[in-house]
Amino acid sequence: MSEPDAPETAVPETPTIEVDVDPRLLEVLVCPVTHGPLEFDRARGELVSRRAKLAYPIRDGVPIMLPEEARELTD
Q: How confident is the model at residue 5 (pLDDT cuts 50, 70, 90)?
A: low
Confirm whether 64 is domain-assigned: yes
Listed range (9-13, 31-35, 59-63, 66-70) with the worst mean pLDDT? 9-13
pLDDT of amino acid 26: 86
Confirm whether 65 is domain-assigned: yes
Distance CA 41, CA 4 (A): 40
Counting the structural domains of the chain, the total is: 1
Domain that holds residue 40: 23-72
Confirm whether 8 is domain-assigned: no
Mean pLDDT, to the nearest integer, of 3-25?
A: 62
Question: In the chain, what percentage of residues exceed pLDDT 90?
Answer: 59
Confirm whether 12 is domain-assigned: no
In 10 A of CB 64, how many CB atoms? 14
**55 near 73, Cβ under 8 Å?**
yes
Residues pairing with 46 in the sheet: 41, 57
Q: Which letter does DSSP use for residue 36 in this model?
A: -
Confirm whether 52 is domain-assigned: yes
CATH of residue 68 = 2.20.25.10
Q: Dump pLDDT digits (tens) for 30-58.
A: 999 999 999 999 999 999 999 999 999 99
